[in-house]
Structure formats: structure tokens, C-alpha cells
């Protein structure tokens, strides 16, 4: 089975892959595609201890991890890994079970064809990594936007497939869908414009991307992923909720069950994938209301919360 999810950002957002109701059921036959911002080839000089640890962790999972590149990757290092032919397309082999799906390639997996075109603009470049001049080649690389050769290579491959594939995997959206999802906050660029052309000229079953840090269906056949892990062909709307998608947010006041009584409290911390030892549902640290001197907090599982409350 082929599964897909959104950005992992190195070890920052990889917890969605820890024990949960999708990955625990995955087998040696399965593939997990990360739709860009993989982030475990990130340090500008060399592989760090943390990168190595998480890459090894991925490599020993039952499934094979595949990723398109996003904008948060160290491209010079990524492009230095050995290139291999794999299922009809080219990959960079990071480890035997951790493979980078190269731009413009079409892969055949389980009888399905998958067109991949990574890359996107770093819209968070200023706040995330500071002054651009200082960060080029350290936290930001111009290769985040595909080159003309990569775009042309993708079009040539699509032509060979009569502009028909089962799935499209990218990091960003076509321009008009990006406008819709980000309400005009992200400017169009060469990648979104290229993808808009693909949207109108390629026949496909479903398109998956990351980048926007939402889980939503941008239209009937285009799904943006972040925390969700979906089976290929499925969309967000028709898939069951899962861990990593908490119902309540920080600073929400809630009514909940606490030691046999009903109490009000304010959420101070959300743990979307559960605690270190309890992974069955999201957990919250809630400060009881009325607050005492010590601002006593309790750890509450999501199913113990009765409702969000406007009344304190």
C-alpha cells in the first residue's frame, strides 16, 4: 500500500510517524511518501548526530520511506547522494529504505504511476532564518525552485506517458489553488505557475502536496497534507480522524472530568500525539479554574473533555 503525509521538518514534525494507528499497521510491502520538507538532510556542512539517528530510525521501520524535496532541504548535500534507477524513475539513495524521489521523474509503484516535482519558495525565509544575505548556503538555497532543465525533464516524462498518471506528488500547489488556500498571502512563483500548467494539461486521479502546514482538500482531486497520513487515492474529508489532530487548542477553556467531578480549566499545552508513554489519543495539560497559587495543572486525555466552554 502507498501512504502519504506532509512535511516532517527533520525531527521537528516526525512524531506523526511514531506509534499510531496508521504506521503501526504498515508492513514491509508499504511505502510512505513525504510530500516535501523532509528536513533530515538539512545541515549545510555534514550529517548531524540527530539527522543520523532519525535517518537510521526510518531505515529500520518496516515500510520504505520516500520523499519529494520541499524548500527546507540542504540541496547541495541532497544532490550529492548516489543516483539510482528505482521503479522506473531516479532517486537519491539516502539509505537503502530512505529514498529521495527526484524532480520530474515518474515512478511505477503497485501498478500506479506517480509524477513527482518537488521544490517551493520559502515564504518564511525572513522570520525563520533571518537576513537572506547571511543565510544563503546555510539555511536557504536557490535550488528550492526547480531549474528550467528539471521543469523540462518533467514535461518530457509526462509527454512519454501521454500526460496521464495516477498520482502527482509536489511540495506546493498550482498558483490558483495556492491563492485559494493562503488567501493571497503567498506570491506565485515559477513552481506554482508550472504546476498550474500541469493541473490543466495532465490527466490524474489524485494530487498530494505539503508546504502549507494544513490538512485539507483544496479541490476534489487535490489534497494538502501536514499531520495526516492518508492511503493513496483517499482525501482528508472522507478519512477518519487520527492522532496528531487535537480537537482543542491552547488557551481554550474546557469542561472536563477530573477525579469523579466536572471541572473547568484552561488548556496550557496540547500533546497531539499523546504523551511519551500514552499514544492512544491527544492529551492536554490543563490549569484548573479557579486558579490557585500554584496554578495547579492536570494531564487530561481528549476523551475526558466534555466540551469547549465560553463560561469560566
Q: Which residues bind Fe ion (CB under 5 A)?
A: 7, 37
Nearer to Fe ion, 182 or 263 (CB): 182
Which helix (H) or strand (E) covers residue 219, if one does? strand 216-219
Nearer to Fe ion, 158 or 172 (CB): 172
Beta strands in 6-117 (DSSP E): 31-35, 64-68, 83-86, 89-95, 98-101, 106-109, 112-117
Closest approach of Fe ion to the CB of residue 214, in Å? 11
CA pseudo-torsion sign 120, 6, 195, 185: negative
Closest approach of Fe ion to the CB of residue 179, in Å? 19
Bridge partner residues of 67 (DSSP) = 34, 100
User: What cell was used for 72?
Assistant: 527546507
| CA dist., res. 250 & res. 229, Å (int) | 23
Closest approach of Fe ion to the CB of residue 159, in Å? 31
> b or e along 56-73 (b: 16 or more beta carbons within 10 Å of the residue's beta carbon)?
ebbeebebbbbbbbbbbb
Nearer to Fe ion, 171 or 206 (CB): 171
Closest residue to Fe ion, judged by C-beta, is 37
For helices 190-201 and 175-182, what crossing angle results, to 10°? 110
Which residue, 62, 17, 37, is CA-closest to 272? 17
| CA dist., res. 94 & res. 115, Å (int) | 20
Nearer to Fe ion, 37 or 69 (CB): 37
Burial of 87 (0-12, 13-18, 19+ CB in 10 A): middle
Closest approach of Fe ion to the CB of residue 31, in Å? 21
Nearer to Fe ion, 89 or 146 (CB): 146
Closest approach of Fe ion to the CB of residue 243, in Å? 20
Which residue, 74, 51, 210, is CA-closest to 140? 74
Nearer to Fe ion, 69 or 150 (CB): 69
Closest approach of Fe ion to the CB of residue 19, in Å? 23
CB count within 10 Å of CB 242 equals 17
Closest approach of Fe ion to the CB of residue 211, in Å? 6
Q: Are the CB atoms for 254 and 230 separated by under 8 Å? A: no
Nearer to Fe ion, 73 or 150 (CB): 73
Nearer to Fe ion, 38 or 199 (CB): 38
Closest approach of Fe ion to the CB of residue 27, in Å? 28
CA pseudo-torsion sign 133, 134, 140, 143: positive
Amino acid at each position: 500500500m502507498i501512504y502519504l503525509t506532509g512535511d516532517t521538518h527533520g525531527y521537528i514534525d516526525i512524531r506523526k510517524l511514531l506509534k499510531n494507528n496508521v504506521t503501526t499497521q504498515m508492513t514491509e510491502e508499504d511505502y510512505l511518501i513525504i510530500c516535501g520538507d523532509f528536513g533530515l538532510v538539512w545541515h549545510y556542512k555534514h550529517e548531524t548526530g540527530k539527522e543520523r539517528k532519525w535517518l537510521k530510525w526510518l531505515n529500520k521501520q518496516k515500510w520504505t520511506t520516500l520523499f519529494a524535496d520541499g524548500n527546507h532541504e540542504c540541496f547541495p548535500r541532497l544532490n550529492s547522494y548516489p543516483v539510482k534507477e528505482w521503479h522506473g524513475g531516479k532517486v537519491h539513495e539516502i539509505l537503502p529504505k530512505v529514498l529521495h524521489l527526484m524532480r520530474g521523474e515518474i515512478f511505477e509503484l503497485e501498478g500506479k504511476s506517480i509524477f513527482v516535482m518537488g521544490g517551493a519558495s520559502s515564504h518564511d525565509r525572513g522570520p525563520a532564518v533571518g537576513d537572506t544575505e547571511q543565510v544563503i548556503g546555510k539555511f536557504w538555497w536557490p535550488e528550492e525552485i526547480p531549474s528550467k532543465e528539471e521543469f523540462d525533464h518533467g514535461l518530457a516524462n509526462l509527454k512519454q506517458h501521454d500526460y496521464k498518471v495516477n498520482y502527482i506528488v509536489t511540495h506546493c500547489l498550482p498558483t490558483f489553488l495556492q491563492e485559494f488556500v493562503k488567501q493571497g498571502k503567498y506570491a506565485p512563483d515559477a513552481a506554482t505557475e508550472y504546476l498550474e500548467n500541469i493541473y490543466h494539461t495532465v490527466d490524474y486521479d489524485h494530487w498530494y502536496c505539503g508546504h502549507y502546514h494544513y490538512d485539507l482538500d483544496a479541490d476534489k482531486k487535490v489534497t494538502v497534507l501536514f499531520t495526516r497520513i492518508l492511503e493513496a487515492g483517499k482525501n482528508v474529508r472522507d478519512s477518519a480522524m487520527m492522532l496528531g489532530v487535537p480537537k482543542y487548542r491552547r488557551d481554550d477553556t474546557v469542561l472536563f472530568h477530573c477525579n469523579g467531578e466536572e471541572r473547568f480549566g484552561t488548556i496550557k499545552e496540547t500533546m497531539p500525539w499523546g504523551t511519551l508513554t500514552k499514544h492512544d489519543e491527544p492529551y492536554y495539560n490543563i490549569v484548573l479554574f479557579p486558579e490557585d497559587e500554584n496554578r495547579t495543572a492536570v494531564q487530561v486525555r481528549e476523551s475526558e473533555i466534555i466540551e469547549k466552554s465560553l463560561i469560566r
